[in-house]
Amino acid sequence: MRPLAILSLCVLAFSLLPADAQAPKRRAKKAAQKTRAQDAKNRKLDQPAPAKDPRLAGYYINLKTSPRAKQAEPVATTLPLSLHPHDQVALIGNGLFDNARHYGFFESLLHQRFPRHQLSVRNFAWP
């Protein structure tokens, strides 16, 4: 039992050693970063700010003044969906359809079912 305890203490001591050995390197790296010259993003300029152009104010958009799309009327749908030649199919969903974009099983089945329709399939899924 005693050799097992000594062995476990040795393993514990050696496992902590690399963390202590890397600490001076990290301190030296932080000190080097502090002494570096500032980049252009953080440098203060002695020049005044450029004058504002009133013509650019016409391009300003915020939440209150932004244009809004008109409300669309809902369309009644029936199942099963009827697909016509050259229709565009949009897949809108969550992670299930997002993961399906890597494999194309659904698109393959759709084209097998309607081989002469020349369908266009877009995947707008977002996880």
pLDDT tens sequence for the chain (127 residues): 576 666 666 565 656 555 555 666 777 777 666 666 677 777 778 888 889 898 998 888 888 888 888 999 998 988 888 899 999 999 898 888 888 888 888 899 999 999 999 999 998 988 7
In a domain, 105, yes or no: yes
In a domain, 104, yes or no: yes
In a domain, 25, yes or no: no
**Domain count for the chain:** 1
In a domain, 86, yes or no: yes
In a domain, 45, yes or no: no
In a domain, 26, yes or no: no
DSSP result, the chain: -HHHHHHHHHHHHHHHHHHHHHHHHHHHHHHHHHHSPP-TTT---SSPPPPPPGGGGGG---TTTS--PPPPPP----SSPP--TT-EEEE--SHHHHHHTTT-HHHHHHHHHSTTS--EEEE----
In a domain, 29, yes or no: no
In a domain, 127, yes or no: yes
Q: Which domain holds residue 123?
A: 82-127
